[in-house]
Amino acid sequence: MKPSADPYERPVRFRFATALYGLYYGIAASVLLDLEDEAAVAVPLMTSGLWLMGPVINPRKYEGVTFNTLRLVNTGRFLGLLYGGSLGLALGGDEDNAEDVILASSSLMSIGLGEAAFAIQKDRNFSAGQIDLMRHYSFLSGWTALALTVALSDQDERTVGASVLAGGVSGLFIGHGIGTRYDYTRGDVDAIGSLSTISAGLGFAAVYERLDETEDSDLLILIPAVASIAGSVAALRSVQGAYLTDRQGTTINLATSGAALVGLGISLLLETESPLVFIGLTSALAFIMHQKLFYQYKWQNINSSPRGRRSYKKPFQASLQLKPENYFMGTRMAQSSLFETLPSSRFNFPIATLRFTF
């Protein structure tokens, strides 16, 4: 049975996340206001409770809310924490009050992006796949911007904060653009995200041994960054037509994480001290498990779903059908007195049929 779109029938995840965000905003307020003793504990509890009471305080605002609405709101809140923290780092740098600036900007931007996401989703109605794509590419672009900053040996706090902020925001637009061109499901994006992470791990394994062997070791950070982008792009192409369900995407991620833990355990049993073995083995086993499950689910969906079959372009097929009886029948008819007045070409029936299907 398809789950209801009413978020209040399965509220545990969103209730927990909402309470945590409210708690964070209260902690930030307590630190910024220098509250002590009972007040320092009371304010976070009160803000957490107020955020949970949102549907009661403003019921009209929550009319028509779906799972995707709350999912985008929580995505906006989380990205707001990252963007606000990056902005605070860019503004505060290494100043004495940098921590306060980061706390204030992260809280304000988290609240602002959460409210903006609420309004945008009620107007635009993004799918779960589009929401997850925007979040994925925001992380990917932010990480790439950080790697580029480190590679350029410009590790000033202000520069790092500004680059991560710029990369994360640009990733939102990249994910939105990709999501409008193809109907990726939430399960598809789960597979895309996990393959991107595995590719980054393989990239780290490839460059680890050379980190201490070259003077330009900072440039090597670009290899795992490029690998994660390549993994994401390859996954974008391969998932088209798969239409992975939420359960399939979650299963892929869980099994992939499990394979990585198995690889980590094997590395410990080998009693090796090389981080290369830890990174390489865990990433390799995760990659094998990911690809095995992904293609299993992909072909399963393509073969069972008209939606998958329409979107998957099969290669052309050829079939040959032999009909030797046509030769004997044509020969007999040509020799029969009943058909003496007809030309012999009328009795040339095809003895083989070759068909091509595209």
- Cβ atoms < 10 Å from Cβ of 68: 19
Question: What span, in angstroms and rounded, lies between the C-alpha atoms of 106 and 83?
Answer: 7
Per-residue confidence (pLDDT) for residue 320, from 0 to 100: 47
Per-residue confidence (pLDDT) for residue 79, from 0 to 100: 92
Phi, psi of 93 (to 5 degrees): 60, -130
Per-residue confidence (pLDDT) for residue 191, from 0 to 100: 94
Amino acid letter, residue 85:
G
225, 248 contact by CB (below 8 A): no
Q: Which two tokens stand for residue 191?
A: 């597979």
- CB neighbour list of residue 195: distance below 8 Å, 6 or more residues apart: 231, 232, 234, 235, 287, 290, 294
- CA torsion sign for 294, 299, 304, 307 is positive
Per-residue confidence (pLDDT) for residue 270, from 0 to 100: 82
C-alpha dist (Å) from residue 240 to 156, 234, 237, 255? 41, 11, 6, 21
Amino acid letter, residue 183:
D
- Among 240, 237, 256, 218, smallest CA distance to 302 is for 240
Helix 37-52 to helix 12-32 angle (10° resolution) is 140
Question: What span, in angstroms and rounded, lies between the C-alpha atoms of 312 and 310?
Answer: 6
| Whole-structure pTM value | 0.76
- Among 146, 232, 127, smallest CA distance to 190 is for 232
Q: Which two tokens stand for residue 124?
A: 């635009």
- Among 31, 113, 122, 121, smallest CA distance to 76 is for 113
- Cβ atoms < 10 Å from Cβ of 106: 23
105, 48 contact by CB (below 8 A): no
- Mean pLDDT of successive 10-residue segments in the chain (358 residues)? 52 79 92 87 92 84 80 90 90 81 92 90 85 92 88 78 90 90 91 92 79 63 88 91 91 93 88 77 91 92 67 46 54 55 53 48
Per-residue confidence (pLDDT) for residue 4, from 0 to 100: 46
